[in-house]
Structure 1
Amino acid sequence: MSAPEQELKRLLHFGREIPFYQPGDRVKNEVYHSCVSNTIENLLAGEKIADIANCIVKAYSDGYSAHPSMLVYALAVCAKQNTNPQLREAAYKALKTVCSSSENLFLFIKFAKKLSQNDSIWGSGFKKVCKEWYLKKDVKTLAEIAGKYKKCNGWLHKDIIKLIHLKPDTPGRAAIIKYLLFGIKAAKKEFGENSEAHEILNYLQTVEDLKHLTDEQLAARSVEIHHFTIDHVPPHLLKSKEVWGALSGNLPLPVLLKNLERIGTLGFLKPNSVLVNKIIDAIKDENAIAESHLHPAHVFVALQNYEMSFKFVVEPKKVAKLPTIPNPKIICALHELFASTCKLFLPPTGLRYSVAIDLKSLKTTDKCYRCTQVTSAEASIIIAFCLLHADREVSVSVANVEEELLPLELTKNMTISNGIEKLKQSRMQRMKICTPVEWASKQKKEYDVFVVVTDTNHKGISNAITVLQNYRKEMNIPNAKLILVMLKCHFEPSWIKEIKDPGVFVIGGFDGNVPRLIEAFSRGAF
């Protein structure tokens, strides 16, 4: 893998061209412009044209990216560069896959507009792709999209339709376009008598009616009958217990988990609430779990978000009352979901791992950077558990006073609490980054990946890289890798840009993406 190609894959997976991941919205913070453009220019110079678009599509299809919006931005850079028409054509072809949703299409247009500056983005190639986006979608699917999103990322469907001069090919599609351009009344006036458009217009009328409903019971009934999702429901109805009860069966599991904290703080998940049973049924639904492809780390972060949110609910100027606590049944269901996702969604890599944990404190007040609901101890155990569930040859260890590694006896059947208890009993001591590699070398132990999880912000890694390179030669494992996870690192270390070894990866902080990035780097995805 060439250096520019690896830089591109890093960008697509975690939003940086250097081997350092830190949680946070890189697109929102606009810290991606020059690095993406420079990387793609370097690849073009090396004539890796086809690989660029293919890499973007593969990263999207694999679903491993910690910053999916970065894929859209990279695609926009490819489409708007003027160096190579072949790459531009490949980008428009890839757009059909990467921007199949209206959110991503609008995001692509937003990026393309920004990259074009004063130039028009509406060339014949882009117009053609946008026309196909509207014309090749199933009519019912397009109606659902029209009902969900009229505006996203600063763009309206109406804007795009006017700019591309879209000509619908069926009465049903024509009715949807009329609705997007002029509203439901105009659509019904023109297509109300057309039998092909009748069902579509009824659906769109129901969407419009929902927006203006104030009766919570009627709104909940409409959501239940028409299988509306959260994107269809206006904000004023998202404060209704009845509406959330109707939504709970329609929401994909990741969306439900994302909104669990919100539902809880509204006070809808108190004991004996009917909504509690509906939420639990949704969390335990085997089909929903299978379709979700949720990573266990995301489940645990959602669990902690829900559990910890009650500690920060403040109601000023109100009479003192008993504090609200998280519903224990919901907590139990989330723990079961965590166990299920560990069994279902952690594919084996076939690699041998050495996981070394180095924490100076196991206090509940020691939180991870960018994920303050999760402690350093919890994050360490999560990382270890994900690897233990995925692969057979995983050793987890801590250091003693002599900096010798001692095994930490963790098993797949343990809970996170059990794992933390094992950490407390281990009486672990501090270690250097290179300690696990040195220990493996002395003991003639063969490992493909060394993972060091610590709450220390180290001042350098050069010595550890030298030890790793010697280990590769001694043990004849040329692709052995080192991953350093600094759970409390809130800045980009100055020594990161000095790392030239492609087998070294550093993580600062923690979020639900970290274990998946460890797995992806280990198997050579970037």
Structure 2
Amino acid sequence: MEPSGSTISSSSNHPLNSTGGVCQWEQGRGAEVVEEIKRFSQEGRAVTLDPSLFALALCSQQSELKTRQVAFKTLKEVCRDPAHLFSFIQQKKELREAIALISKYVTKGWKEVQLAYSDKEKSEEVGTVLSYLEMVEKVKHSCDEAEIIHLIDKHKLEREQLLTDHLKSKQVWRALLKDMLLQSVLKILGKMTSNKVLEPGSSDTQALCDRFQSQTALTKAKIHPFHILLSSKNYKRDQGYQVKTKWEPDSSILKAMDSAFYKSFMNVEPVAKRFVVAVDVSTSPSSVVPGTSISTAVAAAAIAMVFARTEADTHVLAYSEGVPVPCSISADMTLAQATFELVKIPGGSTDCTLPISWATESGKAADVFIILTNNPVWTFTASPVPSLKKHRQQSGANSKLVMCGLTSIGHAIADTEDRGLVSICGLDLGAFSVIRNLAQDLI
């Protein structure tokens, strides 16, 4: 449906204008678009409300949550009578026609979709979806390997869209790997090596290694370095966790993943906060983080590297008892070197208050303390909570504390309602999201 009668300006700075083919709500200015719609409708500057209702319906279906919320909040101020509301609802229905088509396909099947849309006038979007679904149906009923590979190449199909029998073919897997998301590739490296889809010295293996070492590919995939590290260690251990699949790790793939680990630090967006990352060295560094094949020492070093490389104001400490030891983990340091910096410190009993006291006494205000420990039960001689409160008072910072038990299965810091305290048991990619959201006051 084409809007008509609009008197909206086409100025290059106008929030409804498109710059370089990108609408302004895609540039985070959706709320401005809604405000402009509201202003035009209230000032009576449009001949009819239909274009405004169309634009408002469009805003109410954008991916950005803030834009959708503002659009629905503004609805009651734009709609002057029931007819306007019904018009808005109709606009939304027409905009969601493609979604309705997909829902019918999922619930009723392809034949019902064909019957429902055979005589109906189709928008360009609906036509595109129909063509795509027709191709999916074609793949589902094809036993011709060459045809399946052609459709994979032409339509960039993913393995979830193929039948189990299709995935018995090495050539089909090789076709899928060409454009498979790197996140998906990391999950099946072992299987593809075991099945000889990826063989040493093959062109497919070389192409995959090139992708792992491509800064452009890594940036596009937005893979976190810790994700690559976990996948690399899992691949190196030569067998899966829940299946009996075994493989001989390919040295060229391991080398490419090692390169990808360091290059992917560019994907970590800084939060511009002051961090203190403290590693407990009181117990054995050879223990393993549950659910992974990575040692706690390497995990702690990787975490320290993430913050040291991406946050301008980060202090890394090693501690057990006595005085915490600052560790100079630089941007050009390898993971092995960073790990050595941590484990060379003599161990002792655990005192997790030391990193906080060190920051307070040194006059180094911290927004977030991240304390990593191997202690599975966290039987500390003193709670870190009083030390944190003292640091807040003296520094004036609204300091947060993350206690991460790398080998723990469920123990809290203390019985407190302080929203600035978080306990994490074990470690995965989700932990980084929690720390990031805590630092930005989102949780």
Same fold (TM over 0.5): yes
- What residue number does 1:345 align with? 267
Q: Does the residue aligned with 1:222 lie in a helix, a strand or coil?
A: helix
- What residue number does 2:364 align with? 445
Distance 1:284 1:182, change over 3 A: farther
Tell me how far apart the structure 2 counterparts of residues 215 and 277 of structure 1 sit (CA, whole Å): 27
Deviation at 1:427, TM superposition (A): 2.8
CA contact (8 A) 1:96 1:129 kept: no
Tell me how far apart the structure 1 counterparts of residues 124 and 358 of structure 2 sit (CA, whole Å): 76
Partner amino acid for 1:348? P
Tell me how far apart the structure 2 counterparts of residues 407 and 196 of structure 1 sit (CA, whole Å): 58
- What residue number does 1:368 align with? 289
Deviation at 1:258, TM superposition (A): 3.0
Q: Give me the identity figure in percent.
A: 22
Deviation at 1:132, TM superposition (A): 5.4
Residue of structure 2 aligned with 1:135, choices 97, 108, 117: 97
CA contact (8 A) 2:212 2:259 kept: no
State yes or no: 1:182 paired with 2:109: no
Residue of structure 2 aligned with 1:97, choices 45, 52, 63: 63
Q: Deviations over 1:344-402 (max 9, x none)?
A: 22223332222111141122xx2213x322221122112111101111221211126x5
CA RMSD, 1 decimal: 3.9
- What residue number does 2:185 align with? 256
Tell me how far apart the structure 2 counterparts of residues 298 and 513 of structure 1 sit (CA, whole Å): 10
Deviation at 1:245, TM superposition (A): 1.6
Q: Deviations over 1:472-519 (max 9, x none)?
A: 212x323122111111111254x65x2222221111111122223223
Residue of structure 1 aligned with 2:254, choices 331, 336, 350: 331
Q: Which has the larger radius of gyration?
A: 2
- What residue number does 2:353 align with? 434
Partner amino acid for 2:288? K
Tell me how far apart the structure 1 counterparts of residues 409 and 90 of structure 2 sit (CA, whole Å): 45
Tell me how far apart the structure 1 counterparts of residues 315 and 178 of structure 2 sit (CA, whole Å): 41
- What residue number does 2:145 align with? 216
Partner amino acid for 2:267? F
Q: How does 1:56-75 map to 2 (within 5 A)?
A: none
Q: Does the residue aligned with 2:366 lie in a helix, a strand or coil?
A: coil
Aligned length: 365
- What residue number does 1:290 align with? 219
CA contact (8 A) 2:289 2:426 kept: yes
Tell me how far apart the structure 2 counterparts of residues 485 and 196 of structure 1 sit (CA, whole Å): 48
- What residue number does 1:519 align with? 436
Tell me how far apart the structure 1 counterparts of residues 359 and 400 of structure 2 sit (CA, whole Å): 13
Gaps of 5+ in 2: 1-27, 29-58, 66-85
Distance 1:254 1:518, change over 3 A: same
State yes or no: 1:394 paired with 2:314: yes
Distance 1:307 1:463, change over 3 A: same
CA contact (8 A) 1:358 1:429 kept: no
Tell me how far apart the structure 1 counterparts of residues 124 and 305 of structure 2 sit (CA, whole Å): 57
CA contact (8 A) 1:447 1:480 kept: yes
Partner amino acid for 1:326? P
Residue of structure 2 aligned with 1:507, choices 424, 435, 439: 424
Deviation at 1:233, TM superposition (A): 1.7
Tell me how far apart the structure 2 counterparts of residues 128 and 281 of structure 1 sit (CA, whole Å): 50
Deviation at 1:295, TM superposition (A): 1.8
Residue of structure 1 aligned with 2:277, choices 355, 358, 368: 355
Tell me how far apart the structure 1 counterparts of residues 219 and 358 of structure 2 sit (CA, whole Å): 41
Q: Does the residue aligned with 1:488 lie in a helix, a strand or coil?
A: coil
Distance 1:523 1:202, change over 3 A: closer
CA contact (8 A) 1:187 1:201 kept: no
Q: Could you say which structure has the greater relative contact order, defined with CA pairs below 8 angstroms and 6 or more residues apart? A: 1
Deviation at 1:452, TM superposition (A): 0.7
Partner amino acid for 2:313? E
